[in-house]
Structures are given as structure tokens and as C-alpha cells.
Amino acid sequence: MENYEFENLTAFNIGDKLRYVPNTIVVKHILNKKTGNIMALALDYGKVYKPKLTPFSTFINVIEGKAEFVLDNLSTYLQTNDSMIIPGHVSYTLEANQRFKMLSIILKSGYDDLDP
């Protein structure tokens, strides 16, 4: 059994548990299952995060701050409480033009093939 900082059946505030570290991208793994995983990230100003290309859809939610997402050379800005679904096989980067915190949920269920 993997040991995570977040326990089942215990309430927590992700934003409070996630701290900025100067010149760093902080990643906290909340849950990692065969059907998907959940991570929380805090990016300090100036950092760029490029996740591995995955065949699975990713749900992104900005918890705090403002983030620049670059998908296919197009920039999109998300701010606190904004969300986005990124389809599988889409390469993207996250750029911290200011510090921000986000939640990333990768859906590995395989149900993407059933979308109408």
C-alpha cells in the first residue's frame, strides 16, 4: 500500500496543504490508482511545467492564482476556480507568469472511446 500525505475519509484543504517553494514546482500526489491519479501542484513565478504526454484525458482546476496554458501554440489563461479538460494525446505546458496552485486529475478509465 502506498503512503500518501492525504488520508481517506479525512477532510483537508488542498490549498492549505500545498506550499510555494522559491524557484520550484511542488508536486503532491493525493491518489494514484489504475483508473487514474490526482496531483496537486504549486508553481513559483517563472517556472514552466510540461507533463508527460498521456493517452488519457486530464482535468485541471486552478486552486489559487493565474496560470498560462499553452496548447498547440495557443495560450489560454485560467485563474482561481477555473477548470479545463485536456484530451488525451494533447501536448501542453503550464507557465507561471505569477505563482499558482492547481489540481490535476488524470482519467485512465478507458471510457474516452465511448464519447459520442
This prediction's pTM: 0.82
Alpha carbon distance 109, 116 (integer Å): 16
81-112 pLDDT per residue, tens: 999 999 999 999 999 999 999 999 998 865 54
Q: Give me the residue label for grid cell 490508482.
A: 33
Cα 30 from chain centre: 11
Domains of the chain (ranges; CATH) run: 14-110 (2.60.120.10)
14-72 pLDDT per residue, tens: 888 899 999 999 999 998 888 889 999 999 999 999 988 889 999 999 999 999 999 98
Question: Cell numbers of 100, please?
Answer: 499558482
Alpha carbon distance 55, 42 (integer Å): 24
pLDDT on residue 89: 92
> How does DSSP classify residue 48?
E
Q: Are 76 and 84 in contact (CB under 8 A)?
A: yes
Query: Phi, psi (5° rounding) for residue 92?
Result: -150, 165
pLDDT at 74 > cutoff 80: yes
Spatial CA neighbour of 42 closest among 59, 57, 28, 61? 28
